Amino acid sequence: ATSEAAPETTTQSLPEVKTSFEQKTFTVSVPEGWNTTPNREVEASDIMVFKGDMEKIMSIPCVIINVDVPEDGKSFEEGVKTMEEMSGAKPIDDITIDGKTYKGFELKENDMTGTIMAREENGKTIGITLANVQPTDPDVLAILQSLKVK
């Protein structure tokens, strides 16, 4: 018998996730219309999924997920501070999705605006960069809810 998780109580219905991607440190599923780069490596600890034409990557919705062990015994907080310094992102209020709280940062790079989100799970840092899309977008919520850390 398969055990199904209790249904999510959300005020908005999310799109069904169709395609699953298995990476070294996590699995993630995406709704129809979302793709990843063809040269994706299963052994990688990150993935870039996007909606639309790869040629227009700077202007289409894009979600980059990275799940990795912090380098050289750095704490999660140290890793987030380094990420903040490197990206020049400004801290924003924490973002809670599906009961999981992420540290949030606003990203502005050239014409692109976005959000960087980070949290810790199973000793790994989950870093998510959203470009040209909001964390509250139904497609993004469906992707983030499907994320399973190994």
Q: Across residues 76-88, what is the average pLDDT?
A: 82
CB 31 within 8 A of CB 133: no
Mean pLDDT on 136-150 = 96
Average pLDDT on 39-60 reads 91
Nearest Cα residue to 8 out of 96, 94, 122, 99? 99
Give the model's pLDDT for residue 26.
97
146 pLDDT higher than 80: yes
Write down the pTM of the prediction: 0.86
pLDDT range class, residue 44, cuts 50, 70, 90: very high
Distinct helix (H) and strand (E) counts, the chain: 2, 10
**Per-residue pLDDT for 7 more than 70?**
no
In this model, does residue 20 exceed pLDDT 90? yes
Residue 141: other Cβ atoms inside 10 A: 19
Distance from C-alpha of 65 to C-alpha of 129, rounded to nearest angstrom: 7
Confidence grade of residue 99 (pLDDT, cut at 50, 70, 90): very high
Instruction: Read off the pLDDT band of 86 (50, 70, 90).
Output: confident
Q: Is the pLDDT of residue 118 over 80?
A: yes
- Is 20 in contact with 6 (CB distance < 8 Å)? no
Q: What average pLDDT does range 61-89 have in this prediction?
A: 86
What is the average per-residue pLDDT within 76-89? Answer: 83
User: Which of 110, 65, 109 is CA-nearest to residue 90?
Assistant: 109
The tokens for 25 are: 């440190």
Q: What is the pLDDT of residue 10?
A: 46
The three-state secondary structure class of 77 is: helix
